Structure formats: C-alpha cells, structure tokens
Structure 1
Amino acid sequence: MLLLATGGTIDKVYGLRGELEIGPPAAAALLAAAGIEISIESILSKDSLTLTDVDRATIVNHVRSRQATKLLITHGTDTMTDTAAALLESGVVADRTVVLTGAMRPASMIGSDAAFNLGAAIIAARTLPAGVYIVMHGTVFAANAVAKSHSAGRFVPVSH
C-alpha cells in the first residue's frame, strides 16, 4: 500500500504567526502512533481550494506511475470529489483501489477526525475491489456518489 499526501486540512498546523498552514503529512505521525507501516509520498502541499487541473493531473500521473495497486490519498475535503472524478475519468484505476480521505479538523488539533478517517481508509483500501472511493466519517462512498455538505459539515451520499 502507498499513501500519497496532497495537503489539505488534515495536514494543517499553526504557523509562527498563529495562522493555519499546510505542514508535513500528518499521516506519518498518525501511522507511527498506531504502529502501521505504509510508504508515504508527499506530492503536493496545498489547500484543496487552491488545487488546479494541473495539480489533479499530477495526482493522476503519480497514481499511474506507481506499482502499488492499493493507494490512499490524503486530500483537502473541499475539492476531494473533483480529484476523485479526475481519477475515475483517467481510467488509471481499472486495476487499482484508490481511497481518498482527509479531515474536517487538522490532525494537530484536539478532537480531529483525522486518525479515525485514516484508519477507516486503510481498511477500505485493503478490502475494496478496484475503483475510486472516498472514506469519511466511518462511511465508504463511491467516488461518483458523494458530495460534501457544508451545512451538515460532513460528506453525504448523492444519486445521479
């Protein structure tokens, strides 16, 4: 299994000025605390609201170029569904299981959902068939059947 870190809320830390900024991949500390060894590659360090189509292509190309068939992607929640759609459209996941997850509160904060979401995403990546999924709040969503509800503060299923 391989984890690709792209930034987002999960990786935010307080900077010297007291403002939240993207720090190193939080997954490294979360996995170490749980005694889980998964290779981590930091490929972007951005808030998901600033991700561009070029950034999404970078993510797709990293998935395409890796040998791993089970991949986790930590990602900001605001545009996680856009990246999931790009992965689906690329066809790169025909023989791979790709799970995107993140956090509504930074891993560095008390009360964060980061560890829970990451743990659930690991289980999902290890057990689900090939495809693209989003795992948040203890729920596995098909990548094309989920949206972030800002009013509810969580991801919700949608039908097309």
Structure 2
Amino acid sequence: MGVLLLALGGTISVPDGKRAARLSGAEIAAAVPGLTETGIPLDVRDVRAVPSGSLTFAQVLDVVALASRAVADDADGVVVTQGTDTLEETAFLIDLVWPHDAPFVLTGAMRQPAMAGADGPANVLAAVRVAAAREARGAGAVVVLNDEVHAARWVRKTHSTNPAAFASPSTGPLGHVVEGRVRMLPAAPRHAPLPAGGDPARLAAARVALHVVTLEDDGAQLEGLEATHAGLVVAGFGVGHVPGALAPRLGTLAEHMPVVLTSRTGSGSVLRHTYYAPGSEADLRRRGLIDGGFLDPYKARVLLRLLLASGAGRDDIAEAFAARG
C-alpha cells in the first residue's frame, strides 16, 4: 500500500542552478510541507538525475517497468518527478503503455527550490494525493502541477517560465486538487494499452523525424530521409496545410514510410476534406499521408515510434491514429 515516488531530476531537483549536484528524491520529499500529515506511506527511490531533454524512450519504458512491479506489489499509485521540458511527451508515452488502474502521476517544477515562490513542494504534495486517490484510478498517466490534473493525452507546456505553464487547450483539466481533496471530472474511456516491451534494437531503429512546415518550405531538409528514418511526422500550417511545392515530396516519402499529418498550432484537429488545393489536407491524404487528428506533432511522434517498434504496418498505424487521434 502507499505511493511509489521516483525521482528523475529536472528543475525540481536543482538546488540553485549553480551546482551540478541534484537533490535526491528523499530530499525533495522532505521539503514538502504537510506531506507527512497526509498519512500516505511513501516509497522514495532515485532513478536517474538527468535533465528531461536527455531522457530516452528506453529509459522511460524502464521506469514504467519499475512502476508496474511496484503496483503488482500493491502500491496504490506512482509519482515521478522530472524536468518539465519533455513532460508532455514522456507522460503520453507512459499513458500509451500503462496497463494498470493505479494512477501514474508525473510532476515537476517551473522554479528551482531556492527561488521565491518555488512550486515544486506544492506540486509534489498534489501529485501524491492524486496517486493515492480512489477517484483517480483508471485515469492512466496524468500530469499534476498547479493543483490541476491533466490527462497525458491532452496536456501541453504552454509557457517557458510561468508556474501555470501546463494546460490542456482542447479540453481543460481532467481534475483539480481542492483543500487536499482530489476532484476528478468526467473523462472519455482510455484505449487498451500498447505493448511496452519488445526488442530494444527495434525501438532504436524506429527513428521518426519531425518536420515543422514554414513559409516557402520546399522540403529540401527532407532529402534522403527515407534512408535514415522509418517514419515522419509533419507539423503543417493551421488545419494541416503545406506549401503546394512541398506536397509531392511528402507524397513520395509516404510511399516509403508512414507520414503523419498534424498541426503546428498547438491545439485543435487537422481537417480531412474541407480544402482541396495542392498542399491542403485533402490533397495530402490523397498522397498517402495519415491523419493525426487532435494529436500534436510531439505526441504523434511518440505514438508513431511506438507503433513502428512493435512492427505495425501502415494500415495498423492508420487505424491506431484514427482511434487515438
């Protein structure tokens, strides 16, 4: 019983930004006012103290395996503290494979512990409450900061420094922590988890590129991509548009690998059949691109790589994006 707390580094563990040493998970927990008074038993462990931008898919999946063993041993839930730079991506990767009802909560901090108004302690306290809450069971992986609970599927980091940086632009929060009580809002049912294991070599080989479309983009940066990558995510303009000159290049790539179309805007869905000009969403779908739906480019890349690593073919990939996008 209780909550497993795993420390992965990040701003929440940086004492003052001037020293290379990081706070341990025990030190992070000890600095949280009121944590002991919750009565929630904690098993605190250090995993690796690295900036979140240096995490790999394999390392995150190793954390999932460790958390799964703890849940099998009767842990009520899991909290991971990590850097916020890649928090939305690691949370979505975990959510795709997390097979348990027990909550998997990710949190961090926007301000270092020595800064005025440091947010790490409050975020850890809220995260532990959510991980132990019966109301949060079945929600999968969630991100908890600023007393808000965000579904991994929708959460985005929307500001570089603000303590209220995390939001779910398309849906709003999944829940709130109010006066120490976890209040969850109605949520759509989760999909069946994808395989989390597999051959590490296949995961390493499932390289997925991300191309953000810009004004007068002619695709020169994509030359030779089919020889080095197994898939591509395109972050198009608005509802999923690219310059007309880029469309043929994307169509050629789609003959060799899965190419997923998303929007670079940060919220909302790409369209399917509203516009038909060269480079429009309808034109790109005709050329073989896969509709990414509401998934932002970063999460679409996570899903595509996991599917490729599992050996999914193009039809299976298109079906998965249709269901999860």
Q: How does 1:7-156 map to 2 (within 5 A)?
A: 7-14=9-16, 18-19=18-19, 21-25=21-25, 26-31=27-32, 33-34=33-34, 36=36, 37-66=41-70, 67=73, 68-92=75-99, 94-127=100-133, 128-130=136-138, 131-150=140-159, 153=162, 154-156=165-167
Provide the rounded CA distance (Å) in 2 between the counterparts of 1:5 and 1:21.
14
Alignment check: 8 A CA contact 1:69 1:95 kept: no
Q: Percent identity?
A: 31
- TM-score normalised by the chain length of structure 1: 0.86
Deviation at residue 20 of structure 1 after TM alignment: 5.8
Query: Contact between 1:13 and 1:20, CA under 8 Å: does it hold in 2?
Result: no
- What do the CA deviations read for 1:64-111 (whole angstroms, capped 9, x no partner)? 22122311111111111111112112133x321111111001223332
Higher strand share: 1
Structure 2: give runs of 5+ residues left out of the alignment. Answer: 171-293, 295-325
- Length-normalised TM-score, structure 2: 0.44
- Identify the structure with bigger relative contact order (alpha carbons < 8 Å, sequence gap 6+): 1
**CA–CA separation in structure 2 for the residues paired with 1:79 and 1:35:** 26
1:2 to 4, 13, 16: 4
Q: How far apart are residue 30 of structure 1 and its match?
A: 2.0
Using the TM superposition, give the Cα deviation of residue 19 of structure 1 relative to its aligned residue in structure 2, in angstroms.
Answer: 4.5
Give the conservation status (yes or no) of the 8 Å contact 2:6–2:46. yes
Ranges of 4+ aligned residues in structure 1 off by more than 6 Å: none
* CA apart distance, 1:50: 1.0
Secondary structure of the equivalent of 2:31?
Answer: helix
The one-letter code of the counterpart of 2:107 is T
Give the letter for the 1:23 counterpart: L
Name the CA distance, whole Å, in 2 between partners of 1:151 and 1:41: 28
